[in-house]
Amino acid sequence: MALALPEPDRAVVRRREVIVAQLRRLVPPQTIIADEEGRRAYETDALTAYRRLPLAVALPQSTEEVSRLLRYCHDNDIKVVARGAGTSLSGGALPAEDALVIGVSRMNRVLDIDIVNRTARVETGITNLGISEAVKARGFFYAPDPSSQLACTLAGNLGMNSGGAHCLKYGVTTNNVLGMRVVLMDGEVVDIGGAHLDAAGYDLMGLVIGSEGQFGMVTEGTVRILRSPEGARPMLLGFGSSEAAGNCVSAIIGAGIIPVAIEFMDKPAIQVCEAFARAGYPTDVEALLIVEVEGSSEEIADLLAVVSGIANGFNPSAVRISQSSEESAAIWKGRKSAFGAIGRIADYYCMDGVIPLKRLGEVLVRISRICDRRGLKVANIFHAGDGNLHPLILYDANDDAQAERAEEAGAEILKLCVEVGGCLTGEHGVGLEKRDLMRIQFGPTDLAQQMRIKTVFDPKWLLNPGKVFPLDGRDACRELGRELDRDLGSGAA
Amino acid sequence: MAVHSQVRPIDERELARVLAEASAAGTPLEILGAGSKQKIGRPIQTAASVSSKAMRGITLYEPSEMVMTARAGTPLAEVEATLAKRGQMLAFEPVDYGPMMGGEAGQATIGGVFAANVSGPRRVAAGAARDHLLGIRGVNGRGEIFKSGGRVMKNVTGYDLCRGLAGSWGTLAVLSEVTFKVLPAPEKTGTLVLFDLPDEIAVEALCTAMASPFEVSGAVHLQAALAARLEHPGLRSQGKAVTALRVENFAKSVAYRKGRLKDLLKAYGTIMDLERGASQQFWNEMRGLSVLRGSDAPVWRISTRPTAGPKVVTALSSYMECHAFYDWSGGLVWAEVPPTTDAGAADVRRVIAGLGGHATLIRAEPQVRAAVEVFQPLEAGLDRLSRRLKTAFDPAGILNPGRMYAGM
């Protein structure tokens, strides 16, 4: 594949055995995985085209252990890649030969549930769904729900500021977190926020969330939990064109209704998902919307009737309201397993661009042209309410030329998203994958300001190296570090 | 305050030029919009001020995409009037500090609202100003124009500077343009009121309602002394503490949800149903902080866990006379205290240290705000990060220096 990975620091790689021995004196020895087979399990994430065997892997069990590991790496100039469950689609958790992977998977306890104040304090190795499961019996849930929620961790969600199907109503990760315990690269432990709704001073929590593991390692989080609605029910709306479906979404929102989710699938996606999940999706339509609303059964019936009425203005070829909880579950199963279902028929490259909804029809036409031109098929699945597209470019990973064409098509699609007023990534993060495209969306001063903030948190640029910024920006970063030191030295403080 | 000149750049480029010159000369500047929150924070000494007031105008509004872009100096009132015409609103419902700070109502700019992360009662359900900010353009202390975020609902491209700048009170950068999420205004608003509840019981009732599936969008409690200052005659004349809950939705849902909430809360006493106009008036008063007006006694804004709210007030009351009004289901306490040399700061900080949360001295005489920490003092690690962050944006320290923390 085409993306360059940074050259590993040979001096560090040569010292591997010494480093492993020293790490094993800092934490219980079984915390450190150093054998090749063990490390192999951590060589990639969900962007599987890229693989690198890490220097070593640490699976600490406490904030204190994380702190000791980071301080050691800081003092010895060893890079660190923090890892949740390794479900990143952008290569955000890709290791490096000269970097220690620190995984949080063994830190997955629920520390405190406070139903009256509607918060849960957890270790960040807990899975996203694990938080909801922990409070479900009390009638509560944790709102952000990425498709990978069964596997992905809160740590990873914080790193990428993950969204999900229901964020139209409930917001993304940053809107649902109140407090964090963060270990900085030099081992210092800081607590930001708490169980109250706004934190003191600068919004450091807002900066750390979505920093892609480059500012520190978050070991504990206090999240908002919400009372589950009385009920929820999805409906299916099929249309003869993607444009009609897009216009219907605009009309629903224009009528003052914010459904808890509006999901879109085009024909190729519908067919694959239906074959997999038997959700009863109409397979003869060009575009399908899943619209879900919440409330009492009467409120749900009223709202779905209004939505149906609006949809009728766009000549739907299918309108079906779920009649049972089994049917609702099947409808969502089809959507949430879409990536897996498509993975059964081909390798795919999943994009994550966002566009203004108004441009939907035009953008979908141009996306299929971009892929056609390269002889590639594309399936579209996305969160329609917020314009977050997920074109899945299908290719054969064993065919290097095809893989390269898929990457090119992906880059062109993301450029298109920026061109129409959108952005490169809505919820997957920049990671490795979109690193070199950052200059399409940002100018030099925009990127310099971001890099200066990176330097605030991680002056030596040791955390999650080679991601987020174009590689040739790294020398500039070192200069920024020296500049910040100078500025701090000369300041009145 | 020293007499000083005010610069009002008409666009981002002029703003950048002004800041670049100040940066080169090391000239500290006071940064403001319309100045409705000018008396909040530590008093600062600057020779000149820069106001965003002349950079105004809504540059993008797409109701069906729930997004608006406005230049920083656009009056909040203009933003809200434009939204109202299309049946939309700012869901975070920013409070108006103007009148309680001795100024006029409705003066705030949209840039100031985000720079100070100002939210109101609906924050408890819908999120704060910072949660609705989608994109910013601004100028840093070097005089460089930069942007972050964008105009789409979801965006994780690069670091989240929108959150980083919200609530930074003009100390990191001067916003020139903001893009934010807007939401449909509800068809109907309903309000339920309970009377004469002690604080702790009132907060228990509010938390019970918030933990129900009925999407309560406002949860406040006013002690009797502050309820007596309400403009709403029906509520004021009761002479009792007032506890109020709001539900907003389509009319039929509001009726249903009010019914279910009344069942849920019947143990707390007789529940009054505020009629249509009165309901709106009451929440407008909450947004306008009406019960804190007409006095210059110091006011603390304390953010804590909802159930800790009444404990904070009880503890404070053992040190000083304290009148409290709780928002956010008890998690936000507005406490009016007697005018002393430190406005009770030592006691407030001690109480907060024990119960968790943070406190800001919103209203006090300048000499008091100069003598005590106005914003919550930070732990050593956060203080160090904050100072580094300030330097990363504003190395010469020209933007509102010392407004939040001394030497920062």
Residues of A in contact with B154 (CB under 8 A): 163, 167, 172, 354, 383, 386-388, 426-427
- Which pLDDT belongs to residue B1? 42
Nearest CA among B358, B329, B337, B245 for reference residue B292: B337
Ranges of H-type helices in A191-324: 204-208, 242-254, 267-277, 297-312
- B324 and B338 share one domain: yes
Contact state of A355 with B144 under an 8 Å Cβ cutoff = no
- The DSSP secondary structure of B150-165, one letter per residue, reads -SSS---SS--HHHHH
Residues of A in contact with B397 (CB under 8 A): 491-492
Ranking A278-287, A304-313, B10-19 by mean pLDDT, the lowest is A278-287
Q: Note whether B153 and B134 are within 8 A (CB).
A: yes
- Which pLDDT belongs to residue B264? 98
Token pair for residue B251?
Answer: 């009319």
Q: How many CB atoms sit inside 10 A of residue B11's CB?
A: 11
- B103 and B13 share one domain: yes
Please tell me if residue B184 touches chain A, with a CB cutoff of 8 Å: yes
DSSP for residue A6: P
Amino acid at A54: P
Which of B290, B308, B323 terminates a domain? The answer is B290
Task: Say which CATH number the domain at B211 has.
Answer: 3.30.70.3450
Q: Is residue B57's pLDDT more than 60?
A: yes
- B386 and B403 share one domain: yes
Q: Is residue A192's pLDDT more than 80?
A: yes
Terminal C-alpha separation, chain A: 48
Contact state of A488 with B252 under an 8 Å Cβ cutoff = no
DSSP for residue A109: -
How far is B220 from B370, CA to CA, in rounded Å?
A: 31
Ranges of H-type helices in A210-359: 242-254, 267-277, 297-312, 325-336, 338-345
Task: Say which CATH number the domain at B120 has.
Answer: 3.30.465.10
How far is A106 from B172, CA to CA, in rounded Å?
A: 38
- Nearest residue, CB atoms, B303 vs list A190, A198, A428: A198
Which of B242, B265, B290 terminates a domain? The answer is B290
Residues of B in contact with A313 (CB under 8 A): none
Nearest CA among A214, A168, A213, A216 for reference residue A192: A216
Token pair for residue A292?
Answer: 């879900």
Listed as own residue / partner, the contacts of B78-83 with beta carbons closer than 8 Å and 24 or more positions apart are: B79/B110, B82/B58, B83/B182, B83/B185
Q: How do strand A79-83 and strand A99-103 relate by DSSP bridges?
A: parallel
- Nearest residue, CB atoms, A207 vs list B151, B160, B211: B160
Ranges of H-type helices in B249-317: 251-264, 276-287, 309-317
Token pair for residue B21?
Answer: 């010159």
- B36 and B150 share one domain: yes
The half-sphere exposure of A387 on its side-chain side, counting CA atoms within 13 A, is: 31
Contact state of B147 with A442 under an 8 Å Cβ cutoff = yes
Residues of A in contact with B386 (CB under 8 A): 201-202, 204
Please tell me if residue B189 touches chain A, with a CB cutoff of 8 Å: no
> How do residues B365-383 score in pLDDT, each as one tens digit?
999 999 999 999 999 999 9
- Nearest residue, CB atoms, B156 vs list A188, A429, A492: A429
**Mutation target vs A (from B152, B174, B390; most A CBs, 10 A cutoff):** B152
Total tally of structural domains belonging to chain B: 3
- Nearest residue, CB atoms, B154 vs list A197, A388, A434: A388
Measured between alpha carbons, how far is residue A421 from residues A124, A355, A366, A407, B135 in Å?
Answer: 34, 6, 15, 22, 12
Q: Note whether A425 and B361 are within 8 A (CB).
A: no
Mean pLDDT of chain A, nearest integer: 94
Q: What pLDDT band is residue A341 in, cutting at 50, 70 and 90?
A: confident
Cα dihedral: A442, A447, A448, A453 (round 10): 140
Q: Give the strand order in the sheet containing B145-149.
A: B58-62, B67-71, B173-181, B133-140, B145-149
How far is B212 from B379, CA to CA, in rounded Å?
A: 36
- B113 and B231 share one domain: no
- Which pLDDT belongs to residue A1? 59
More confident residue, A493 or A222: A222
Contact state of A295 with B253 under an 8 Å Cβ cutoff = yes
- Nearest residue, CB atoms, B382 vs list A204, A298, A429: A204
Q: What pLDDT band is residue B340 in, cutting at 50, 70 and 90?
A: very high
Please tell me if residue B172 touches chain A, with a CB cutoff of 8 Å: yes
- B362 and B388 share one domain: no
How many percent of chain A have pLDDT more than 70? Answer: 98
- B124 and B6 share one domain: yes
- Which pLDDT belongs to residue A492? 40
Please tell me if residue B168 touches chain A, with a CB cutoff of 8 Å: yes
- B230 and B263 share one domain: yes
Can you state the angle between helices A338-345 and A267-277, rounded to 10 degrees? 90
Distance from CA of A174 to the nearest CA of B (A): 8
- The DSSP secondary structure of B372-390, one letter per residue, reads S-SSPPPPHHHHHHHHHHH
Which of B262, B290, B318 terminates a domain? The answer is B290
- B155 and B44 share one domain: yes
Q: Is residue A473's pLDDT more than 50?
A: yes
> How do residues B143-158 score in pLDDT, each as one tens digit?
999 999 999 999 999 9
Distance from CA of A399 to the nearest CA of B (A): 30
- The DSSP secondary structure of A151-175, one letter per residue, reads T-BHHHHHHHT---TTHHHH--GGG
> How do residues A120-173 score in pLDDT, each as one tens digit?
999 999 999 999 999 999 999 999 999 899 999 999 999 999 998 888 899 999
Q: Note whether A19 and A56 are within 8 A (CB).
A: yes
- Which pLDDT belongs to residue A487? 84
- Which pLDDT belongs to residue A385? 86
Q: Note whether A202 and B389 are within 8 A (CB).
A: yes
Please tell me if residue B355 touches chain A, with a CB cutoff of 8 Å: no
> How do residues B73-93 score in pLDDT, each as one tens digit?
999 999 999 999 999 999 999
- Which pLDDT belongs to residue A465? 94
Task: Say which CATH number the domain at B345 has.
Answer: 3.30.70.340
Mean pLDDT of chain B, nearest integer: 96
- B86 and B54 share one domain: yes
Owner of token pair 């305050």 = B1
Domain span including residue B252:
188-290
How far is A312 from A319, CA to CA, in rounded Å?
A: 9
Domains of chain A, earliest start first? 10-103 (3.30.43.10), 110-227 (3.30.465.10), 232-338 (3.30.70.3450), 346-437 (3.30.70.2740), 444-490 (no CATH)
Q: Please compute the mean of the pLDDT values over residues B110-134 and round it to a whole number.
A: 98
- B402 and B335 share one domain: no
Q: Give the strand order in the sheet containing A177-183.
A: A110-114, A119-123, A217-224, A177-183, A189-193
Interface ipTM:
0.97
Q: Note whether A94 and A45 are within 8 A (CB).
A: yes
Q: Note whether B172 and B164 are within 8 A (CB).
A: yes
Residue B394: which region, alpha, beta or left (left: phi > 0; alpha: psi -120 to 50)?
beta
Q: Is residue A474's pLDDT more than 70?
A: no
Q: What are the backbone dihedrals phi and psi of residue A190, each rounded to the nearest 5 degrees, phi first?
A: -125, 145
How far is A156 from A159, CA to CA, in rounded Å?
A: 5
Contacts of A233 (CB under 8 A, 6+ apart): A292, A293, A300, A304, A321, A322, A328
Q: Is residue A475's pLDDT more than 70?
A: no
Please tell me if residue B376 touches chain A, with a CB cutoff of 8 Å: yes
**Mutation target vs B (from A172, A196, A211, A306; most B CBs, 10 A cutoff):** A196
Q: Note whether A54 and A101 are within 8 A (CB).
A: yes
Q: If contacts are CB pairs under 8 Å, which of residues 310-339 in chain B contact chain A? A: 328, 331-332
Residues of A in contact with B172 (CB under 8 A): 202
- B175 and B58 share one domain: yes
Please tell me if residue B251 touches chain A, with a CB cutoff of 8 Å: no
